[in-house]
Amino acid sequence: MITALAGGVGAARMLRGLVRAAPPGSVTAIVNTGDDTVLHGLHVSPDLDTVAYTLAGWSDDRRGWGLAGETWTTMEQLERLGGLTWFRLGDRDLATHLYRSQRLAEGATLSEVTSELVSSMAVPATLLPMSDDPVRTRMTLADGTDVAFQQYFVALGHAVAVAAVHFDGADVARPAPGVLAAIADADRIVVCPSNPVVSIGPILAVPGVRAALAARREDTVSVSPLVGGAALKGPADRLLRELGHDATGAGIASLYRDIAATLVIDDVDAADAPAVTAAGLRCIVAPTVMHDVDAATALARVVLDAG
């Protein structure tokens, strides 16, 4: 059994490799829900959806988010009505949010809804939200204003300096059913190449998760989201520096040292290996850029064979 901690696009690609490299039905992903937001009355879970769409083979890999063959009829009409359109919800994607919002209103948990969606989409993995309780990532910007994650990430295009990140509700959130068991029982735990601060950070902030992972440190392999000191997508590198970390393999190692005994860094960052080792982690140097499914599968094999 393989358990992965997952954010959005980077994690989805890693998972696409893992489900190919591992035995059928053996992969479970614990997915960040700190990015979740309610828009137009709809509960949107961006990371859960990105992972599900990608594993179902429904994603638009060229655009990097959302569904292939997507149309935008509702958004175009909403624009005509003068509504909020900075967060683009495609016509097909909307169905997921309608389904989730209806089921949550009926009293289902986010775990239950996720399980139903995963089943309808024939996703070849188990997806667990990190928590069924609301945890909301918020950013304190350098100018002191406090904004919700999607405001920072989408509306502001993450083009602003961040002074602090916090996870509203994390102090009282409980791990979703199955999360702690998936960590305790896994043969291999993988920290996907997601943003350590705003994708993996919220998962670790759910009480009990960090301790459960620490107990499995020897079997946990983390994959750096940085290549040559930069994030392939998103603001991970800048965010790390703004919050006082190094945007290097050593910086990632110091963030994960209590939960992972191993860190995979990219070939181009091979020079970081001694610093990773000095931080107390085994370091594996391998190609980490997942151009396609084969590259993702090769990286997954490295992760599964590690240690």
Residues at the interface with a copy of itself (CB under 8 A): 38-43, 71, 73-75, 77-78, 80-84, 91-92, 94-99, 101-102, 104-105, 116-117, 120-121
In the complex, minimum distance from the CB of residue 68 to a copy of itself, in angstroms, rounded to a whole number = 12
In terms of DSSP bridges, do strands 37-39 and 42-44 run parallel, antiparallel, or are they unpaired? antiparallel
Measured from the CB atom, the residue of 93 and 237 that comes closer to a copy of itself is: 93
Measured from the CB atom, the residue of 106 and 143 that comes closer to a copy of itself is: 106
Measured from the CB atom, the residue of 99 and 286 that comes closer to a copy of itself is: 99
C-beta atoms surrounding 156 within 10 Å:
14
In the complex, minimum distance from the CB of residue 59 to a copy of itself, in angstroms, rounded to a whole number = 14
Which DSSP state fits 70? -
In the complex, minimum distance from the CB of residue 140 to a copy of itself, in angstroms, rounded to a whole number = 23
In the complex, minimum distance from the CB of residue 233 to a copy of itself, in angstroms, rounded to a whole number = 26
Report how far residue 205's alpha carbon sits from residue 172's, in angstroms, rounded to the nearest whole number: 10
In the complex, minimum distance from the CB of residue 83 to a copy of itself, in angstroms, rounded to a whole number = 4
CB 39, CB 155: distance < 8 Å: no
Phi, psi for 147 (deg, rounded to 5): -130, 155
3-state helix, strand and coil shares in percent for the chain, rounded to the nearest 5: 45, 20, 35
Nearest alpha carbon to residue 306 among 220, 226, 224: 220
Measured from the CB atom, the residue of 18 and 117 that comes closer to a copy of itself is: 117
Measured from the CB atom, the residue of 147 and 163 that comes closer to a copy of itself is: 147
Burial 66-84 (b: 16+ CB within 10 A, else e): bbeebebebbeeeeeeeee
CB 93, CB 66: distance < 8 Å: yes
Tokens representing residue 279 in the block = 């931080």
Measured from the CB atom, the residue of 94 and 160 that comes closer to a copy of itself is: 94
CB 253, CB 275: distance < 8 Å: yes
In the complex, minimum distance from the CB of residue 40 to a copy of itself, in angstroms, rounded to a whole number = 4
Which amino acid is present at 94? Answer: L
Measured from the CB atom, the residue of 59 and 195 that comes closer to a copy of itself is: 59
In the complex, minimum distance from the CB of residue 100 to a copy of itself, in angstroms, rounded to a whole number = 8
